Amino acid sequence: MYNNELKFSLWCDFVERSFLENEFSSLVEKNIVNAATSNPSIFKSAFLGSPAYKEAKTLLEGRPAKEIYETLAIQDIQCAAGKLLSAYESGNDGFISIEVDPFLCDDAKATIEEGKRLFKAIAYPNVMIKVPATEAGFVAMEALLSEGIHVNATLVFSKQQTQNCLDAFSRANLLLKEKGVESLPKAVISIFVSRFDRKLDDMLSKIDFPMGRVGIMNALRCYECIKAYGLENVRALFASTGVKGDRFREDYYIRELLVENTINTAPLDTIHAFVASKECKAIEYTSEMIENFFNALAANEIYLDEVSDTLMDEGLRAFKEAFVEILNELK
């Protein structure tokens, strides 16, 4: 855990073979990061852009594209899981996430089957199966957690999605406790942050409204929901926390979301900038501040539910496009 006093963890939002075999080990040993995440866009960058996969891809030539993708992904996840296993066994997070095929986002049964298959194939206890927060996804999250599989609920943009995730995890917890399970599997709710500001800041600048705040305030509102629900095995994870351009300092979305018992999963450059600052102080806010902010936003005819829906659609589409591009290149 990066900061024990705050119960704050810093996870690496990057997976690539040569990185895992070198720098990642150092970051884990120094307790800078204690977990990592992946998604189709991250794997697209790795598999199509890194020379580290050349030999592995050659050995897999002739196989179906999705099989090649899964083989490469599973190898990377196993590598990360092995390096994080001691952290996991000591209760210091130690998770690595892998996402199900994004084209299964509206098929609960297929998502459950793929999640279970991937978890079994990777064969490490510290793997989180990443499931998009769709209607089918909520069903799959409940089923996977009920089977003792750690779950990362991803592409969460709204308080309603957060609530739906919590309801699913609560039902799974109840079932596990009825079975006599004492050590519950872990879950995180990945609340996406910076995409709100990239979507809205140019518009807000024209009406003299504070920029770089919508994503933060929305994330805090979702965090408040998670905290109030009080599930012992569920934490808020702030995702999409890299900064584009030079409007804000590189570690802006880490510093502005430093609240108790949370995780921030960030790109490497963002992590390095935050560590170099040597600052880790909790922010101060109130629920009233959050609601006043969104009331002011609505007064300017900007309604967060509409923006959240748009960002969810864009997020799913981006992951699907990345997945298709990977498969096309691996054919």
Closest CA to 241 of 227, 233, 252: 252
Residue 322: its pLDDT value, please? 95
Instruction: Supply the Cα-derived Rg of the chain in whole angstroms.
Output: 19
Closest CA to 122 of 188, 167, 71, 61: 71
Query: Which ranges constitute the DSSP H helices of 147-238?
Result: 159-178, 194-205, 214-229
**What one-letter code names the amino acid at 158?**
S
Catalytic pick among 83, 116, 120, 130: 130
- Which whole number is the average pLDDT over 240-260? 93
**What one-letter code names the amino acid at 87?**
A
Closest CA to 243 of 220, 270, 262: 270
Nearest-angstrom CA–CA distance, 324 and 331 = 11
Instruction: Read off the pLDDT of residues 70-85 as tens digits, 9 standing for 90 and up.
Output: 999 999 999 999 999 9
Nearest-angstrom CA–CA distance, 9 and 104 = 30
- Sorted by sequence, the CB contacts under 8 Å of residue 322 that are 6+ apart come out as 39, 40, 41, 43, 44
| Mean model confidence pLDDT for the chain | 96
pTM above 0.95, yes or no: yes
Task: Please state which architecture CATH assigns to domain 9-330.
Answer: Alpha-Beta Barrel (3.20)
- Distance between start and end Cα atoms, the chain: 41
DSSP SS3 for 128:
strand
Domain residue extents for the chain: 9-330
Residue 164: its pLDDT value, please? 98
Give the model's confidence band at 287: pLDDT under 50 very low, under 70 low, under 90 confident, else very high.
very high
Retrieve residue 234's tokens: 């569920």
Retrieve residue 7's tokens: 């119960």
Give the model's confidence band at 330: pLDDT under 50 very low, under 70 low, under 90 confident, else very high.
very high
Give the model's confidence band at 278: pLDDT under 50 very low, under 70 low, under 90 confident, else very high.
confident
Q: Tell me the CA distances in angstroms from 82 to 26, 38, 77, 89, one per residue in order.
A: 14, 15, 8, 11
Nearest-angstrom CA–CA distance, 144 and 175 = 12
Give the model's confidence band at 1: pLDDT under 50 very low, under 70 low, under 90 confident, else very high.
confident
Instruction: Read off the pLDDT of residues 10-53 as tens digits, 9 standing for 90 and up.
Output: 999 999 999 999 999 999 999 999 999 999 999 999 999 999 99
- Sorted by sequence, the CB contacts under 8 Å of residue 234 that are 6+ apart come out as 166, 169, 186, 187, 188, 189, 226
Nearest-angstrom CA–CA distance, 213 and 217 = 6
Please name every residue paired with 8 in a beta bridge, in sequence order, or none if there are none. 3
Place of tokens 């960002």: 311
Residue 39: its pLDDT value, please? 95
Residue 313: its pLDDT value, please? 97
Residue 246: its pLDDT value, please? 83
- Which whole number is the average pLDDT over 256-282? 95
- Which whole number is the average pLDDT over 121-131? 98
- In 3-state terms the chain splits into helix, strand, coil percentages (rounded to 5) of 55, 10, 30
Give the model's confidence band at 274: pLDDT under 50 very low, under 70 low, under 90 confident, else very high.
very high
Instruction: Read off the pLDDT of residues 153-203 as tens digits, 9 standing for 90 and up.
Output: 999 999 999 999 999 999 999 999 999 999 999 999 999 999 999 999 999
Query: 130 an active-site residue?
Result: yes
User: Where in 77-216 does DSSP place strands (E)?
Assistant: 96-99, 127-132, 150-156, 187-192
Residue 244: its pLDDT value, please? 85
- Which whole number is the average pLDDT over 234-262? 95
Place of tokens 């879950």: 187
- Which whole number is the average pLDDT over 86-102? 97
Residue 331: its pLDDT value, please? 85
Residues 224, 176: contact at Cβ < 8 Å? no
Residue 120: its pLDDT value, please? 98
Q: What percent of the chain has pLDDT above 90? A: 96
At residue 40, φ and ψ (nearest 5 deg) are -55, -35
Residue 279: its pLDDT value, please? 86
